Amino acid sequence: MSGVNTSTAVLDSGSGRILCIADVRGHLSTLNQLARDARAVAIIHTGDFGFFEPSSVERISDRTLRHLVSYSPLIPQDDRPNLLAPEAPLRNLITSNSTFPLSEFPQLLAGQITFEVPVYTVWGACEDVTILENFRTGTYNINNLHILDEATTRRIDVGGVSLRLLGLGGALVPHKLFDNGEGRATIAGGQGTMWTTVLQIGELLDTSRRVYDATETRLLVTHASPGREGILAQLALATRADLTVSAGLHFRHATSYNEFSVQEDMDGFRNKLVKGKESFDRVWDNVKAQVEAVVDDRQRILLESTLGMIERIPPPVPATGPNPTGPIPGEEPAWKNCWNWNLCDASYGSLILEVKDGRISAEVKSQGFNYAYRKNSTQPAQTQNAGQATAGTKPPTTAPSPAPGAGSKLKSAPGTKPGTPAPAGTKPTTPAPGGTKPTTPAVSKPGTPVNGKRGKRGSIDESALSPAGEEGALHDESRGPRRHPWTLYIRPLPIPVSEDEIRTFFGESASLITNIKIPLDHKNPGQPQRGFAYVEFADEDSMKIGQEKHGETIQSTRPNVEISNPTEYSSTRGSFRGRGGGPGRGGGPQGKDGSRFGGLNRMGQQALAAATGKGAGKQGATSAAAKKD
């Protein structure tokens, strides 16, 4: 085994504040200001750091490149449509720009940007694996930047605590656990994405055992969340982590929890570990023989270490009744003692760990949601009620009243105030002629039909607008029927295609789907379907999970998945944001074999087939995607 890369930094003998953030996305110059604002002595970052340079562009797949451009904080919002236009020479526009628009990493590497405090980071799911390899070989070295990985750990002595940092970067994609893409040794990635492998997990387990010290407090830093991934929850147990910090799915609030606070009982936590094991086993059973035939002696040790971790499931809790005064026999103590934080993006919030006198306290700050739209959304309803309540009390003198549902706005009859009570014997809530019921003054749901028309959905991510502004406007029916707001557009699709095939494609997020619409081409009887579909979800978070967690192909066709009408329905976050399934987040097709993993790249392709239930490896393998959370 190779030696462990470890060092200790004494930051402050008395106390210190550690800033924890996620997804800075190449906007590295902001880190110093964030540290100053938080009065932090160090920064811990959970991935999507922005490890890109101009030479990276030629190695990034088209889809991943468009994703990076769509959400780079360095590219003005107004410039993105021109860059993302269908005929725009995107790569040329990026490389010819005087300032590299994807990341400030080149300035950091050249010394134009320097970090004022130590920065500890894992790599994320959208990074250039070549740059990380350059750090590993020593070609790149940046003062105050420490990259945590399976072979590199750091210790921070601050405030009476020795904080041991262990890190695991990249997306967790079960069917890519045996594929290291273009990476060497245990690192894995390619085409602008990076992911976790079994060898990476195995080496991290070896590193954690080598540096174990009972006097230390262990903090596991991961890109994917142990709260969602049973394998990572198992990893936290195996590394004896006291704390975990991970990146989120771009929510507006960070989360702080332990398993005891969110699971009904120990068996609930155990079931999560069992599901993680089952997801792994479906892939492993399909490629086991081929993997064992190509791994060398060192890789075999790492592989067996990971397999041992996967098999380490706590025993079921015996039915001995409640035991409020002490631990239950067989109970895993970490499910009560290990605390977890899942962070929002750096632009939306942060976590500060304050270490003083041996105690670690936490401050979580989040931008949160903007609910002002709800007050604005009541204005059209109130106006409508007023108009209907006064109908018949006095006819209009200048213009006829619009019929219910006929106009975008209703006006009260002249001489009658909007709040005037209805005539005696008439209740304001009585249905209007024609069977149309007036909307009550209560807060209506965004997108609820108002006066026969569907109002524009209020966004909780946008600032409050006046009733006459965008939020209060009613939809123009001349544009056609309003589509469900939380809809993904998927194309191209093979013809014919079934709803079941689309659900299988979405795998773990299939349970979040509320409806699938496959438009028909009535003008072409020989080809009734039109080659695309709309997939509806219950809410925005579910839609984003579906966009990020899906398979590769449907009947050998590789569809694109994007938010339907993103300028109308989506916030500035979410389009093609992958933590796992998609090519932009570790699920894309890869190029040449890695020199260290050898034939295991081919195993990765078979694992993909096992996970999706398509192609080679389908026999004896259940779709892993259909099972995942």
Sorted by where each begins, the domain ranges of the chain are 5-79+96-260+332-366, 487-590
CA distances (Å), origin 55, targets 106, 131, 513: 10, 10, 39
* Greater model confidence, 465 or 4: 4
Q: Are strands 449-450 and 349-356 parallel, antiparallel or unpaired?
A: unpaired
Q: How far apart are CA 285 and CA 83, in angstroms?
A: 44
Cα dihedral: 227, 231, 236, 239 (round 10):
-170
Give the range with max mean pLDDT: 50-54, 370-374, 486-490, 511-515. Answer: 50-54
Evaluated on CA atoms 417, 418, 421, 422, the torsion sign reads positive
For residue range 343-352, what is the model confidence (pLDDT) as tens digits?
A: 999 999 999 9
How many residues in total does the chain contain?
629
Residue range 487-590, CATH number: 3.30.70.330
Average pLDDT score over the chain: 77
**DSSP assignment of 586-611, as one string?**
TTS---SPPTTTTTHHHHHHHHHHHH
The two three-digit tokens of residue 207, written as one number: 């590193």
Q: Residues with Cβ < 8 Å from 352, sequence gap 6 or more?
A: 17, 18, 19, 20, 38, 40, 362, 363, 364, 365
Q: Position of tokens 């919030």?
A: 349
For residue range 361-403, what is the model confidence (pLDDT) as tens digits?
A: 999 999 888 888 888 765 555 555 555 544 444 444 444 434 4
Q: Residue 478 is which amino acid?
A: S
Residue 98 has pLDDT above 50, yes or no: yes
Q: How far apart are CA 255 and CA 235, in angstroms?
A: 20
Q: How far apart are CA 479 and CA 568, in angstroms?
A: 13
Q: How far apart are CA 565 and CA 557, in angstroms?
A: 23
The fourth-level CATH superfamily of domain 5-79+96-260+332-366 is Metallo-dependent phosphatases (3.60.21.10)
Q: How far apart are CA 483 and CA 504, in angstroms?
A: 23
Which range is least confidently modeled, 37-41, 251-255, 460-464, 604-608? 460-464
Other Cβ atoms closer than 10 A to 508: 23
Q: Could you tell me which residues are beta bridge partners of residue 247?
A: 343
* Greater model confidence, 311 or 316: 311
Q: Could you tell me which residues are beta bridge partners of residue 164?
A: 155, 218
Label residue 153 exposed, middle or buried (CB < 10 Å: 0-12, 13-18, 19+).
Answer: buried
The pLDDT score that the predictor gives to residue 314 is 85
For residue range 247-304, what is the model confidence (pLDDT) as tens digits?
A: 988 888 999 999 998 988 888 888 999 999 999 999 999 999 999 999 999 999 999 9
Residue closest to 586 by CA, chosen among 24, 60, 190, 284: 190
Q: How far apart are CA 429 and CA 83, in angstroms?
A: 52
Give the range with max mean pLDDT: 38-52, 484-498, 613-627. Answer: 38-52
Q: How far apart are CA 172 and CA 236, in angstroms?
A: 14
Give the range with max mean pLDDT: 276-285, 442-451, 459-468, 481-490. Answer: 276-285
The pLDDT score that the predictor gives to residue 185 is 65
DSSP state of 6: E
The two three-digit tokens of residue 67, written as one number: 């994703």
Residue closest to 239 by CA, chosen among 212, 257, 270: 212
Cα dihedral: 62, 63, 67, 69 (round 10):
20
Residue 484 has pLDDT above 90, yes or no: no
Q: How far apart are CA 239 and CA 148, in angstroms?
A: 15
For residue range 511-564, what is the model confidence (pLDDT) as tens digits?
A: 888 889 888 876 766 667 888 899 998 888 888 888 888 888 888 788 889 888
